Amino acid sequence: MSEPVTVYQRMKDIPAEHLLAPGTAMCAGCGGLQALHEIHDILGRDTVVVNAAGCMTLLAVYPYTPMPGSWLYTSMASAPAGAQGVRDALDIRIAKGRLRREDDLRVVVLSGDGSAYGMGLSASSAAIERGLDFLYLCYDNEGYGNTGQQTSPATPHGAQTATSTGPVGHAGRKKDLFAIWAAHRPAYLATVIGSEPLDLARKIEKAKRVKGPKLILALSPCPTGWGFDPQHTVEIARLAVRTGLWPLKEYEDGVITHTKVPAERAPVEEYLKLQGRFAHLFSPQRNETLLAGIQNEVDRYWEGVKP
Ligand SMILES: Cc1ncc(C[n+]2csc(CCOP(=O)(O)OP(=O)(O)O)c2C)c(N)n1
Ligand code: SF4
Ligand SMILES: [Mg+2]
């Protein structure tokens, strides 16, 4: 069996047993891949995936992709523009009688947080404004994972990344992409996580029925970038929900509904202490100020949520 083909220097550091299969550069325990599997199963084959540069583009090994429908690669900033082109081409073919309406395809943007929260946000905003009928699926691993987990606009306060290496980690705060999309009044908007497959499935089924711009935002635990053993992906994902750090919610017709309210929230520490990117909050001594700050922010969020 040949050695795995890897693209970036960082990938060479991943132990071979953590790779999904020789020939790909995906890591075992990838929460983004878990969410993508679950979502793609529900979306089905009649889907064109427009994929902005990031970890998931490494699923394609020329000339093959694991997506049974079509797959298009775009730059980080332009996936929603690519989706517009695909949608237009399909509509023109239907109008000219070259594609039967019942054979129409669903257009899905697939990108990481670097594109969705940052480089591609302007293209998303314009696509929502035009009322483009597309589903935007963002797997959010809270950093530029593919190039070595540099800080992105989705990196949480206090996390260490390849570019936030000081004793307090990232000084900025995670952008609220849900609120930014909601302000655009899209057709549908939801947060999901792979470890809550029923909640996820219900939301994807709903997104399939709704026409117009839609966003599915999936928090995606990333063993390589967050610093944990791949066997803990599901545990960490469940803790993200149980601590209240990742609220599961949806937006429809101007109304935001929380789809799972943790009965008794676990302390955020339980989630943070399992990840290398937060190790500096616990050792060589506990950073009580930062830990209390993170907990307070979560408490404040939930105070504003009606049961
Ligand atoms: C304009 C531009 N800058 C930098 C890069 C290099 N690059 C490729 S993938 C990537 C990280 C993308 O991060 P994200 O969207 O969060 O996806 P992830 O890698 O985490 O899956 C970067 C910086 C690029 N492709 N284009
Ligand atoms: S770096 Fe993270 S998001 Fe990228 S393939 Fe590995 S586990 Fe998945
Ligand atoms: Mg990312």
At 67 the pLDDT is 82
pLDDT in tens, 211-238: 999 999 999 999 999 999 999 999 999 9
Cα separation, 304 vs 244, in Å, equals 13
Cα separation, 202 vs 39, in Å, equals 10
116 lines ligand 2 (CB under 6 A): no
Nearest CA to ligand 1 atom 2: 76
CA distances from 22 to 56, 154, 160, 177, 277 (A): 16, 30, 30, 35, 27
At 4 the pLDDT is 37
Nearest CA to ligand 2 atom 5: 26
145 lines ligand 2 (CB under 6 A): yes
CA atoms 140, 141, 143, 144: torsion sign: negative
- Measured in Å, residue 250 CA sits from the centre of ligand 1 at 27
pLDDT in tens, 138-167: 999 999 999 999 999 999 999 999 999 999
With tokens 């035009």, the residue in question is 130
CA atoms 159, 161, 163, 168: torsion sign: positive
pLDDT in tens, 189-212: 999 999 999 999 999 999 999 999
Confidence label for 45 from pLDDT (cuts 50, 70 and 90): confident
- Angle subtended at Cα 275 by Cα 270 and Cα 278, rounded to the nearest 5 degrees: 90
